[in-house]
C-alpha cells in the first residue's frame, strides 16, 4: 500500500483537491479496495459520502468540502450559486450548510446531504480555481435566488461593480437573454443603479427612497478625492452625503480615514451629511427633508416632493 500511495503525482493530486479523492482516482493510482478499507478501518481516512474519501481525520475545511462536492458531481461540475458567490467575494464569508454545484442537465447526479446539485441546459464553463461559474453568471443566479429581497441583490451587484466592474455589462446582457428570469425588470434596474455608483444596499436605498422618491437632485456617486471616495456628491451645491453601513468604523484606521476625508471636505468649503442604515431605512422622509434644507441653503432652487400621503417632508 505504501508504494501505491507514493510519488509526486499522488501528492500533487491530494494538494490540488485539498485531501479529497474519489474511488476511481484511488484505483487509478494503484490503490486496491482492500487498501481503502484498511485506511478507513484504521481511521486514517474518512468517507464523507460513498465513493469519496478524505485522507485525514477531523472536521472538513471549507475547501475540502468543496472538492468532496465536485468529485461527487463528476468531471463536468462547477461550483455555483452561494458557493461561487463566496469564492468570488460577492457574498460575505460564512459557514455554508451546503455546497452548490452545477452539472449538465443530461447528467443524473442528485443532491445529497451537504451538496445541492443544479442542472443546466448547457455544460457549465469552469472559471477560476476551484472551478466555478463566471462572475456574471454567479451574480445573476444570486439575484434570481434573492427575488423579493432587493437589498440582497443590490449588495451582490454592488460588489460586482466594486471588484469586477468589467463584468457588470455581462450581467446585464445575461439578464436580457433570460426572458423567463424571475424579477427580470427589477434586476435590470438594480444592475443599472449599481453601474451608476450605488455600490451597496444602503446606497441604493438612499438613491431610491430618499433622492428619487422625494424629487431631490441625484448626486454624483463614488467621486474620487485624494485617494478616497465620496458616496454621494453634489458638486454644484458643494455638499457630500456619506452613507455608513453597519460594519463601518469597526477599526480605528477606518474612522481616521473618514475623519480626514470629512475634514478635507470642510477645507474645500463642502458640507458633509452622514447617515446610517437605520436612518435611510426607517426615516427616509426625514433624511430627505434634511438633505433638501442643506441643498437649498447652498443654491438649489427646486422643491422636494412628498413620496406618499403620509410623507411629512
Residue 271 is assigned to a structural domain of this protein = yes
Would 268 be classed as within a structural domain?
yes
The percent of residues above 70 in pLDDT, for the chain, comes to: 90
Q: Is the pTM of this model over 0.85?
A: no
Evaluate whether residue 245 is within a structural domain. Answer: yes
What does the pLDDT read at residue 7?
Answer: 62
Within-domain flag for 66: no
pLDDT exceeds cutoff 50 at 130: yes
Q: What's the rounded mean pLDDT across residues 103-113?
A: 88
Q: Is residue 302 part of a domain?
A: no
163 lies in some domain: yes
Q: In what order do the strands lie in the sheet with 99-104?
A: 78-79, 99-104, 115-120
Q: Report d(CA 155, CA 204) in Å as an integer.
A: 9
Q: Clarify whether residues 164 and 211 are in a common domain.
A: no
What is residue 248's predicted lDDT score, i.e. its pLDDT?
A: 44
Q: Which domain holds residue 231?
A: 201-297
Residues 186 and 270 in one domain: no
Residue 168 placed within a domain:
yes
In this prediction, residue 312 carries a pLDDT of 83
Q: What is the pLDDT of residue 1?
A: 44
88 within domain boundaries: no
**pLDDT for residue 262:** 67
**Residue 268: predicted pLDDT:** 75
Looking at the fold, whether 293 and 205 belong to one and the same domain comes out as yes
Query: Domain count of the chain?
Result: 3
Q: Does 225 score more than 90 pLDDT?
A: no
| Domain identity same for 218 and 145 | no
Co-location of 157 and 242 in the same domain: no
**How does pLDDT run across 81-100, given as a tens digit for each residue?**
999 999 999 998 877 889 99
Q: Rounded mean pLDDT of 142-158? A: 91
Whether residue 240 is found in the same domain as residue 159: no
Using the structure block, give the residue that is written with the C-alpha cell 441643498: 295
Asked which of 154, 178, 195 is the last residue of a domain, the reply is 195
Is residue 130 a contact partner of residue 67, using CB atoms and an 8 Å limit? yes
**Which of 58, 73, 107 is the C-terminal boundary of a domain?**
58
What is the chain's mean pLDDT, rounded?
Answer: 89
Average pLDDT over residues 246-253: 51
Q: Do 161 and 222 belong together in one domain? A: no
The three-state DSSP-derived secondary structure of 15-54 is: HHCCCEEEHHHHHHCCCCHHHHHHHHHCCCCEEEECCEEE
Assess whether 209 and 254 both reside in one domain: yes
Domain boundary among 40, 58, 76: 58
* pLDDT category of residue 3 using cuts at 50, 70 and 90: very low
Of 250, 248, 209, nearest in space to 229 by CA: 248
Q: What mean pLDDT comes out for the span 4-20?
A: 80
C-alpha cell at 19: 485531501
Q: Residue 286: give its domain's CATH number.
A: 3.40.960.10
* pLDDT at residue 211 tops 90: yes
285 and 214 both lie in a single domain: yes
Same domain, 219 and 263: yes
Amino acid at each position: 500500500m505504501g508504494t501505491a500511495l507514493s510519488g509526486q503525482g499522488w501528492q500533487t493530486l491530494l494538494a490540488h483537491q485539498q485531501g479529497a479523492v474519489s474511488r476511481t482516482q484511488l484505483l487509478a493510482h494503484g490503490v486496491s479496495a482492500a487498501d481503502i478499507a484498511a485506511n478507513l478501518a484504521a481511521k486514517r481516512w474518512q468517507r464523507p459520502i460513498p465513493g469519496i474519501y478524505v485522507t485525514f481525520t477531523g472536521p472538513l475545511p471549507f475547501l475540502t468540502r468543496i472538492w468532496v462536492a465536485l468529485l461527487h458531481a463528476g468531471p463536468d461540475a462547477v461550483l455555483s450559486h452561494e458557493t461561487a458567490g463566496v469564492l468570488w467575494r460577492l457574498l460575505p464569508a460564512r459557514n455554508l450548510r451546503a455546497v452548490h454545484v452545477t452539472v449538465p442537465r443530461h447528467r443524473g447526479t442528485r443532491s445529497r446531504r451537504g451538496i445541492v446539485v443544479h442542472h443546466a441546459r448547457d455544460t457549465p464553463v469552469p472559471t477560476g480555481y476551484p472551478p466555478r461559474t463566471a462572475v456574471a453568471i454567479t451574480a445573476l443566479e444570486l439575484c434570481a435566488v434573492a427575488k423579493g429581497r432587493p437589498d440582497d441583490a443590490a449588495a451582490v451587484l454592488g460588489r460586482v461593480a466594486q471588484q469586477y466592474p468589467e463584468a457588470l455589462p455581462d450581467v446585464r446582457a445575461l439578464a436580457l437573454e433570460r426572458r423567463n428570469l424571475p424579477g427580470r425588470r427589477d434586476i435590470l434596474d438594480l444592475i443599472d443603479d449599481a453601474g451608476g455608483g450605488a455600490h451597496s444596499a444602503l446606497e441604493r436605498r438612499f438613491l431610491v427612497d430618499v433622492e428619487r422618491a422625494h424629487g431631490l437632485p441625484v448626486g454624483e456617486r463614488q467621486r474620487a478625492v485624494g485617494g478616497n471616495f465620496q458616496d454621494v456628491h453634489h458638486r454644484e451645491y458643494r455638499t457630500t452625503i456619506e452613507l455608513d453601513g453597519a460594519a463601518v468604523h469597526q477599526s480605528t484606521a477606518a474612522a481616521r480615514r473618514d475623519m480626514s476625508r470629512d475634514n478635507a471636505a470642510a477645507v474645500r468649503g463642502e458640507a458633509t451629511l452622514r447617515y446610517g442604515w437605520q436612518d435611510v431605512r426607517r426615516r427616509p422622509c426625514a433624511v430627505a427633508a434634511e438633505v433638501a434644507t442643506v441643498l437649498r441653503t447652498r443654491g438649489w432652487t427646486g422643491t422636494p416632493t412628498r413620496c406618499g400621503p403620509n410623507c411629512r417632508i
